[in-house]
Amino acid sequence: MWNSERNMEAPQSPVKTAAVLVIGDEILSGRTQDTNSGAIARFLMGFGIDLKEIRVVSDDQAEIVAGLNALRTRYDFVFTSGGIGPTHDDITADAVAKAFGVDIGYHSEAYALLEARYPPGDFNDMRKRMARIPHGASLIKNTVSVAPGFHIGNVYVMAGVPMVMRAMLEAIAPEMPRGVTVTSVTISAQIPEGAIAETLAAIQKANPTVSIGSYPFYSEAGPGTQLVARGRDVQIVEGAASAIEAMLREKAVRFERL
């Protein structure tokens, strides 16, 4: 059902889709703010890949397996973040192996990389856990702290530490497909959204290939609205943005492009 609907919306577009699976109790407890999803979202935007869903699940094998299988069968790519370190709560690699129904064991290249990283005697059994990679996976380079991520099927498994995660995104960038990117125009207007909603709906209706979003905000100057026009055809997006600006001018609203 999902695929047919998506195809109906964009019949000629081979737009790739993606999901993010964040693994971590620390996000669900509100202790840590997840910034990795946003970084992955912006990364994907650069390749014209549409991020369609983000899920955050706990450090629980059954949850990770179920989430990963739901997402990897539905989207072109899945990016996971978290749970690939040396401690007992790092269970992502095993969960990914289970989701794919493959074995897991020491990956010789990962093992060698990690062994070389530590002084003799410091490459203990727990650190060796970071060399356990599902069979059939290829490594994702970690230029920050050596311990690699990995790529299996359509799933990219990355670290949770933001600096390391971003380094892994850089490492996989060369293998990402490049599609037509989305052009986005943001207009900040000093008017409550309800006062322009009707005209805005008409502009949306006249531009079905542009996604027009309306995001209210409150500032010292009073209620305002950020209007965002997004689409893959630059000229059509520009046309919709111009229509929004014309509407604001007609209503004598103060606005600026961001």
Which residues in the 111-150 window bind its own copies by CB under 8 A? 122, 124-127, 129-130, 145
Residue 28 interacts with its own copies (CB under 8 A)?
Answer: yes
215 neighbors 164 (Cβ within 8 angstroms): no
Stretch of 33-41, 94-102, 103-111, 231-239 contacting its own copies, by CB under 8 A: 33-41
CB of 170 to its own copies, least distance (A): 16
Nearest to 250 by CA among 186, 209, 185, 200: 200
Exactly one of 3, 12, 33, 73 binds its own copies (CB under 8 A); which one? 33
Distances (CA, A) of 61 to 20, 56, 130: 17, 13, 17
Hey, which residues between 146 and 185 contact its own copies (CB under 8 A)? 160-161, 163, 182, 184
Question: Total number of residues binding its own copies (CB under 8 A)?
Answer: 75
Q: For its own copies, which is the closer residue by CB, 127 or 141? A: 127
148 neighbors 141 (Cβ within 8 angstroms): yes
Nearest to 216 by CA among 227, 230, 204: 227
Q: For its own copies, which is the closer residue by CB, 18 or 171? A: 18
Residue 16 interacts with its own copies (CB under 8 A)?
Answer: no
Residue 57 interacts with its own copies (CB under 8 A)?
Answer: yes
Exactly one of 13, 15, 53, 106 binds its own copies (CB under 8 A); which one? 53
Hey, which residues between 71 and 110 contact its own copies (CB under 8 A)? 85-90
CB of 61 to its own copies, least distance (A): 10
Q: CA-to-CA distance for 135 and 203, rounded, in angstroms? A: 52
253 neighbors 226 (Cβ within 8 angstroms): no
CB of 21 to its own copies, least distance (A): 10
Nearest to 138 by CA among 147, 149, 129, 127: 149
56 neighbors 64 (Cβ within 8 angstroms): no
Hey, which residues between 203 and 242 contact its own copies (CB under 8 A)? 204-205, 211-218, 223, 228, 230
Q: For its own copies, which is the closer residue by CB, 152 or 210? A: 210
Q: CA-to-CA distance for 143 and 149, rounded, in angstroms? A: 11
59 neighbors 74 (Cβ within 8 angstroms): no
CB of 136 to its own copies, least distance (A): 26
Q: CA-to-CA distance for 237 and 258, rounded, in angstroms? A: 15
Residue 246 interacts with its own copies (CB under 8 A)?
Answer: no
